[in-house]
């Protein structure tokens, strides 16, 4: 979805209120079908890459630096997600701060490891 497309959405579609009153917050097709249908409106085939329960969000209580808000996100889905461009596989978690990006990736190619330089004679 392009930034231009998302600006045209109503504000209720651009923001998702994370409510932790009942514990962790789960985001996915099962809980927010309208959001994902709007996100994938131009290509409904992409919906197959969003799990019914895709992400779980928890507050990083005690883990964040003083005065900083932090969310811990866990990928519940089978497809790789990207947290600040780092792969997040099923069951893996990452901490997100203000302005960090969380993205879906139905395909992810691991970068090849850098080859070691030959030893000096």
Of 32-36, 49-53, 56-60, 110-114, the range with the highest mean pLDDT is: 56-60
- Mean pLDDT, residues 27-45: 81
Q: What is the pLDDT of residue 19?
A: 81
pLDDT at residue 120 tops 90 = no
Placement of tokens 């409510």 in the chain? 19
Number of domains in the chain: 1
Please report whether residue 15 resides in a domain: yes
Please report whether residue 17 resides in a domain: yes
Structure tokens at 45: 């085939």
Structure tokens at 56: 């779980």
Instruction: Report phi then psi at 33, rounded to 5.
Output: -55, -40
In this structure, the chain runs to a length of 121
Q: What is the pLDDT of residue 1?
A: 52
Q: What is the pLDDT of residue 56?
A: 95
Please report whether residue 89 resides in a domain: yes
Instruction: Report phi then psi at 65, rounded to 5.
Output: -60, 155
**Domain ranges, residue 20:** 3-104
Please report whether residue 53 resides in a domain: yes
Please report whether residue 112 resides in a domain: no
Q: What is the pLDDT of residues 45-91, one digit of tens each?
A: 877 878 889 999 998 865 555 556 688 999 999 888 889 889 999 99
- pLDDT-based confidence at residue 44 (cuts at 50, 70, 90): confident
Q: What is the pLDDT of residue 95?
A: 92
Residue 81, strand partner residues: 88, 104
Please report whether residue 115 resides in a domain: no
What's the CATH number where 87 sits? 2.60.200.20
Asked if 64 contacts 70 with a C-beta cutoff of 8 angstroms, the reply is yes
Coil, strand or helix at 121: coil
Please report whether residue 118 resides in a domain: no
Asked if 54 contacts 73 with a C-beta cutoff of 8 angstroms, the reply is no
Asked if 92 contacts 72 with a C-beta cutoff of 8 angstroms, the reply is no
Structure tokens at 78: 């089978």
Coil, strand or helix at 110: coil
> Which pTM does this prediction carry?
0.70
């Amino acid at each position: 979805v392009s930034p231009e497309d998302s600006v045209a959405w109503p504000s209720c579609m651009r923001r998702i209120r994370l409510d932790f009153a009942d514990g962790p917050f789960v985001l996915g097709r099962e809980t927010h079908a309208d959001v994902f249908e709007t996100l994938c409106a131009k290509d409904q085939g992409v919906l197959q890459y969003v799990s019914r329960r895709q992400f779980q969000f928890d507050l990083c209580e005690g883990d964040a630096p003083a005065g900083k808000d932090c969310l811990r996100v866990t990928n519940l889905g089978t497809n790789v997600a990207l947290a600040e461009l780092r792969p997040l596989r099923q069951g893996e978690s990452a901490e997100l701060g203000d302005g960090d990006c969380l993205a879906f990736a139905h395909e992810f190619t691991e970068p090849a490891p850098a080859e070691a330089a030959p030893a000096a004679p």
